[in-house]
Chain A
Amino acid sequence: DAGVTQSPTHLIKTRGQQVTLRCSPKSGHDTVSWYQQALGQGPQFIFQYYEEEERQRGNFPDRFSGHQFPNYSSELNVNALLLGDSALYLCASSFAGGEQFFGPGTRLTVL
């Protein structure tokens, strides 16, 4: 079992650009959640996807959007990047509201 995988590992973008991050959930999991972890902070919940629908959303602007595919994998899209979007983006998967398993994250740097 590969666990939760994320790609890419690192990413550098400039202000105003758009970025797409990818997540493959743990085998058997149907729910994917995304978190943003700024430097020196705890992870903050962005949103959660289940059955290809956004089920819950945290306090993030509409520039942050996502998608879940029929195979349960997920993408996080961020438009019009700001310097403050620089962070580690964590994906977590779960099944039926159970324990969340976290991936290693994608480190996004916005210059």
Chain B
Amino acid sequence: AQSVTQPDIHITVSEGASLELRCNYSYGATPYLFWYVQSPGQGLQLLLKYFSGDTLVQGIKGFEAEFKRSQSSFNLRKPSVHWSDAAEYFCAVALSGGYQKVTFGIGTKLQVIP
């Protein structure tokens, strides 16, 4: 069964600093990988996704993520964090093709300080 590990439950960064959120997955086949963001009281918004091809993917709001098969990782990055980026971030994995049952990590809560 697929699983997703987000080792950092809570991260605090200063506004303007760079950000990297870690994600490791366990899955036997080629995964579909996602990063979602959830603001308080809100649903989930897709930031970016990786299905195949270029291992560096660009998303919305200036985020990018890099797929590294050898490390089973899909880390999320942003060069300069804004106060509005404070939210909870979820890494997720799904079957390649077929039905889209999505398995989520536990989430990383991002706090941005001025």
The residues of A with any CB-CB pair to B shorter than 8 Å are 4, 31, 33, 35, 40-45, 48, 55-56, 58, 90, 92, 94, 97-105
Contact = CB atoms under 8 A, between A and B. Distances in A.
Contacts of B46: 99, 101
Q: Interface residue tally of chain B, by bracket?
A: 20 to 34
Contacts of A94: 100
Contact of B101 (A33, A40, A90, A99): A33
Given A33-B102, A43-B104, A100-B102, 9 more contacts: A4-B43, A40-B106, A41-B107, A45-B101, A48-B101, A92-B44, A92-B102, A104-B41, A104-B43
Most buried by A among B41, B99, B100: B100
B49 A99 contact: yes
A48 B104 contact: no
Contacts of B100: 31, 33, 48, 94, 97-100
